[in-house]
Amino acid sequence: MKLRGLLTPLFFTLLTVGIFTSCKKDTPNNPWDDYDLEEQLKIDAKIIEDYIAENDIDAENVAVENSEGEAVETGIYVAVTDSSHSEVYPNSDSLVEVKYKGYFTNGDVFEDTGDESIKFLLGQVIVGWRIGFTAVAEGDKATIIIPSPYAYGPVGAGPIGPNEVIIFDVELIKVSNGNISDL
Protein backbone atom coordinates (compact mmCIF):
# COMPACT_ATOMS: atom_id res chain seq x y z
CA MET A 1 0.00 0.00 0.00
CA LYS A 2 2.89 2.38 0.73
CA LEU A 3 4.33 1.79 -2.75
CA ARG A 4 1.02 2.67 -4.39
CA GLY A 5 0.87 5.92 -2.41
CA LEU A 6 4.32 6.87 -3.76
CA LEU A 7 3.55 5.92 -7.37
CA THR A 8 0.71 8.40 -7.81
CA PRO A 9 2.79 11.54 -7.00
CA LEU A 10 5.73 10.12 -8.95
CA PHE A 11 3.51 9.46 -11.97
CA PHE A 12 2.12 13.01 -11.95
CA THR A 13 5.59 14.49 -11.51
CA LEU A 14 6.92 12.55 -14.50
CA LEU A 15 3.85 13.42 -16.54
CA THR A 16 4.26 17.14 -15.76
CA VAL A 17 7.97 17.12 -16.60
CA GLY A 18 7.21 15.29 -19.85
CA ILE A 19 4.56 17.82 -20.86
CA PHE A 20 6.75 20.85 -20.17
CA THR A 21 9.86 19.45 -21.83
CA SER A 22 7.88 18.49 -24.95
CA CYS A 23 6.69 22.08 -25.41
CA LYS A 24 10.08 23.55 -26.31
CA LYS A 25 10.05 26.09 -29.15
CA ASP A 26 12.95 24.61 -31.12
CA THR A 27 11.35 21.25 -31.74
CA PRO A 28 12.53 19.59 -34.97
CA ASN A 29 10.57 20.63 -38.07
CA ASN A 30 8.63 23.39 -36.30
CA PRO A 31 7.50 25.64 -39.20
CA TRP A 32 7.43 28.71 -36.92
CA ASP A 33 11.15 28.46 -36.01
CA ASP A 34 12.43 29.87 -39.31
CA TYR A 35 9.30 31.75 -40.36
CA ASP A 36 10.06 35.17 -41.89
CA LEU A 37 6.82 37.16 -41.62
CA GLU A 38 8.03 40.16 -43.61
CA GLU A 39 9.37 38.00 -46.43
CA GLN A 40 6.16 35.97 -46.60
CA LEU A 41 4.08 39.16 -46.72
CA LYS A 42 6.18 40.35 -49.69
CA ILE A 43 5.66 37.04 -51.50
CA ASP A 44 1.93 37.11 -50.81
CA ALA A 45 1.64 40.79 -51.85
CA LYS A 46 2.94 39.88 -55.32
CA ILE A 47 0.51 36.94 -55.58
CA ILE A 48 -2.40 39.16 -54.50
CA GLU A 49 -1.46 42.07 -56.78
CA ASP A 50 -1.23 39.68 -59.74
CA TYR A 51 -4.57 38.07 -58.84
CA ILE A 52 -6.30 41.45 -58.55
CA ALA A 53 -4.88 42.62 -61.89
CA GLU A 54 -5.65 39.36 -63.74
CA ASN A 55 -9.24 39.31 -62.46
CA ASP A 56 -9.85 43.08 -62.82
CA ILE A 57 -10.90 43.44 -59.18
CA ASP A 58 -11.42 46.88 -57.64
CA ALA A 59 -10.21 46.18 -54.10
CA GLU A 60 -9.00 48.31 -51.21
CA ASN A 61 -6.03 47.41 -49.00
CA VAL A 62 -7.57 47.45 -45.51
CA ALA A 63 -5.72 49.68 -43.07
CA VAL A 64 -5.58 49.38 -39.29
CA GLU A 65 -4.45 51.90 -36.73
CA ASN A 66 -1.02 51.32 -35.20
CA SER A 67 0.03 52.29 -31.65
CA GLU A 68 0.92 55.83 -32.83
CA GLY A 69 -2.58 56.30 -34.26
CA GLU A 70 -1.39 56.05 -37.87
CA ALA A 71 -3.19 54.04 -40.52
CA VAL A 72 -1.10 51.08 -41.70
CA GLU A 73 -2.06 48.92 -44.68
CA THR A 74 -2.39 45.23 -43.82
CA GLY A 75 -2.17 43.57 -47.22
CA ILE A 76 -5.70 42.23 -46.74
CA TYR A 77 -7.82 43.39 -49.68
CA VAL A 78 -11.59 43.85 -49.73
CA ALA A 79 -13.74 44.42 -52.80
CA VAL A 80 -17.38 45.21 -52.05
CA THR A 81 -19.22 43.60 -54.95
CA ASP A 82 -22.78 44.48 -53.88
CA SER A 83 -23.21 47.35 -51.44
CA SER A 84 -26.15 47.49 -49.06
CA HIS A 85 -25.35 51.14 -48.25
CA SER A 86 -25.62 50.21 -44.59
CA GLU A 87 -23.70 52.14 -41.95
CA VAL A 88 -23.45 49.08 -39.66
CA TYR A 89 -19.92 47.64 -39.63
CA PRO A 90 -18.65 44.87 -37.35
CA ASN A 91 -15.65 45.10 -35.06
CA SER A 92 -13.59 42.24 -33.66
CA ASP A 93 -16.07 41.85 -30.78
CA SER A 94 -19.15 41.59 -33.03
CA LEU A 95 -21.34 38.58 -33.52
CA VAL A 96 -21.98 38.05 -37.22
CA GLU A 97 -24.07 35.91 -39.52
CA VAL A 98 -22.49 35.18 -42.89
CA LYS A 99 -22.57 33.02 -46.00
CA TYR A 100 -19.26 32.40 -47.71
CA LYS A 101 -17.22 30.50 -50.24
CA GLY A 102 -13.48 30.05 -49.61
CA TYR A 103 -11.10 29.34 -52.47
CA PHE A 104 -7.50 29.61 -53.65
CA THR A 105 -6.09 31.97 -56.29
CA ASN A 106 -6.43 29.16 -58.86
CA GLY A 107 -10.21 29.04 -58.20
CA ASP A 108 -10.28 25.70 -56.36
CA VAL A 109 -12.91 25.87 -53.61
CA PHE A 110 -11.98 24.57 -50.16
CA GLU A 111 -15.18 25.48 -48.28
CA ASP A 112 -18.65 26.73 -49.15
CA THR A 113 -21.66 27.33 -46.91
CA GLY A 114 -23.97 27.33 -49.95
CA ASP A 115 -27.39 28.71 -49.05
CA GLU A 116 -26.79 28.12 -45.35
CA SER A 117 -25.50 30.90 -43.12
CA ILE A 118 -23.30 30.51 -40.07
CA LYS A 119 -23.09 32.64 -36.94
CA PHE A 120 -19.93 33.30 -34.97
CA LEU A 121 -18.01 35.77 -32.86
CA LEU A 122 -15.66 37.64 -35.19
CA GLY A 123 -12.91 37.64 -32.56
CA GLN A 124 -12.73 33.83 -32.73
CA VAL A 125 -11.78 33.44 -36.38
CA ILE A 126 -8.60 33.97 -38.41
CA VAL A 127 -7.07 37.45 -38.24
CA GLY A 128 -7.75 37.99 -41.94
CA TRP A 129 -11.48 37.77 -41.28
CA ARG A 130 -11.29 39.95 -38.16
CA ILE A 131 -9.62 42.71 -40.17
CA GLY A 132 -11.34 42.13 -43.51
CA PHE A 133 -14.88 42.14 -42.18
CA THR A 134 -14.37 45.61 -40.63
CA ALA A 135 -14.52 46.94 -44.23
CA VAL A 136 -17.78 45.10 -45.02
CA ALA A 137 -21.12 46.59 -43.95
CA GLU A 138 -24.16 44.62 -42.85
CA GLY A 139 -25.93 43.38 -45.97
CA ASP A 140 -22.87 43.77 -48.24
CA LYS A 141 -21.48 41.10 -50.51
CA ALA A 142 -17.70 41.27 -50.83
CA THR A 143 -14.51 39.48 -51.72
CA ILE A 144 -11.83 39.32 -49.01
CA ILE A 145 -8.30 38.39 -50.14
CA ILE A 146 -6.07 37.28 -47.26
CA PRO A 147 -2.27 36.91 -47.19
CA SER A 148 -1.15 33.67 -45.59
CA PRO A 149 0.22 35.19 -42.33
CA TYR A 150 -3.32 36.45 -41.59
CA ALA A 151 -4.78 33.03 -42.40
CA TYR A 152 -2.96 29.82 -41.44
CA GLY A 153 0.69 30.85 -41.89
CA PRO A 154 3.40 28.23 -42.43
CA VAL A 155 1.26 25.48 -40.94
CA GLY A 156 -1.90 25.42 -43.05
CA ALA A 157 -5.16 23.81 -41.96
CA GLY A 158 -7.10 20.99 -43.60
CA PRO A 159 -7.10 21.57 -47.37
CA ILE A 160 -5.27 24.89 -46.96
CA GLY A 161 -1.56 24.36 -47.35
CA PRO A 162 1.27 26.27 -45.70
CA ASN A 163 1.71 29.89 -46.82
CA GLU A 164 -1.43 29.89 -49.00
CA VAL A 165 -3.19 33.12 -49.97
CA ILE A 166 -6.91 32.47 -49.52
CA ILE A 167 -9.96 34.28 -50.87
CA PHE A 168 -13.51 34.47 -49.58
CA ASP A 169 -16.67 35.63 -51.32
CA VAL A 170 -18.83 36.67 -48.39
CA GLU A 171 -22.29 37.97 -47.64
CA LEU A 172 -22.52 39.71 -44.27
CA ILE A 173 -26.14 39.05 -43.40
CA LYS A 174 -26.31 40.44 -39.87
CA VAL A 175 -24.10 42.21 -37.32
CA SER A 176 -24.81 42.26 -33.61
CA ASN A 177 -22.83 43.76 -30.79
CA GLY A 178 -25.07 42.05 -28.26
CA ASN A 179 -26.00 38.43 -27.65
CA ILE A 180 -25.74 35.69 -30.24
CA SER A 181 -29.50 35.23 -29.85
CA ASP A 182 -29.86 38.72 -31.42
CA LEU A 183 -28.79 37.29 -34.78
The pLDDT assigned to 179 comes to: 62
Length reported for the chain: 183
pTM comes to 0.82
Amino acid at 132: G
Q: Is 69 helix (H, G, I), strand (E, B) or coil?
A: coil
pLDDT tens over the chain, length 183 residues: 444 444 444 444 333 334 444 444 556 678 888 889 999 999 999 999 999 999 999 999 999 999 999 999 999 999 999 999 999 999 988 999 999 999 999 999 999 999 999 999 999 999 999 999 999 999 999 999 999 999 999 999 999 999 999 999 999 999 998 665 665
